[in-house]
Structures are given as C-alpha cells and as structure tokens.
C-alpha cells in the first residue's frame, strides 16, 4: 500500500503530470487500485511487485510533488479461501 501525501500547493500539479505522463510505472510494478481521502490531500494506492526497488524507482519520479509512505500488505488470513476473490477486488 502506498500512501501519498501531496506536498502543499502541488495537488493540481500532480493531476496535470498524471494526465500528461500517466503513472510512470517501471516495468514489473503493477497498479491495482486507488482511493482518495475526502478533501483530496492523500491518496492510497494498492500496488503489486516482488521488488521493493521498483517502488522506490517509481516514488523517485514523483517525490518532487508527493511524500510517500510504503506499507507492505497482504490478504488477511481471515478472508483467504472462499472470500479471496472479493478481497482482491477491494470488496
């Protein structure tokens, strides 16, 4: 899970860069889903990769506009099995 906090006054710049260049993901880093906090000052993105270096590479492309917190997560053991397909879809 990537928690992005937009630097002061940079929210509009983030969205302009995204519109022009996309997410700018390195090969091997997969975007899964995202959520934006009410007020829009933070974004929570679920990403998938086996290499933390790829997350660091991606963050370096945005760190002039965004502060990052990287939190490794996995599907909870209590919802694995029959419920796992729903969990993967964020439900």
Cβ-count burial of 43 within 10 angstroms (0-12 exposed, 13-18 middle, 19+ buried)? middle
Output the pTM of the full model: 0.77
pLDDT in single tens digits along all 91 residues of the chain: 999 999 999 999 999 999 999 999 999 999 999 999 998 899 999 999 999 999 999 999 999 999 999 999 888 887 666 555 554 544 4
- 66, 84, 85 from 81: Cα distances, Å: 36, 5, 8
């Amino acid at each position: 899970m990537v928690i992005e906090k937009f630097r002061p006054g940079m929210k509009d710049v983030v969205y302009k860069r995204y519109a022009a260049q996309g997410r700018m993901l390195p090969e091997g880093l997969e975007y899964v889903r995202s959520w934006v906090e009410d007020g829009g000052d933070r974004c929570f993105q679920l990403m998938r990769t086996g290499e933390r270096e790829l997350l660091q590479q991606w963050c370096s492309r945005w760190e002039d506009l965004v502060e990052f917190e990287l939190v490794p997560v996995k599907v909870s053991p209590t919802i694995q099995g029959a419920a796992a397909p729903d969990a993967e879809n964020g439900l």
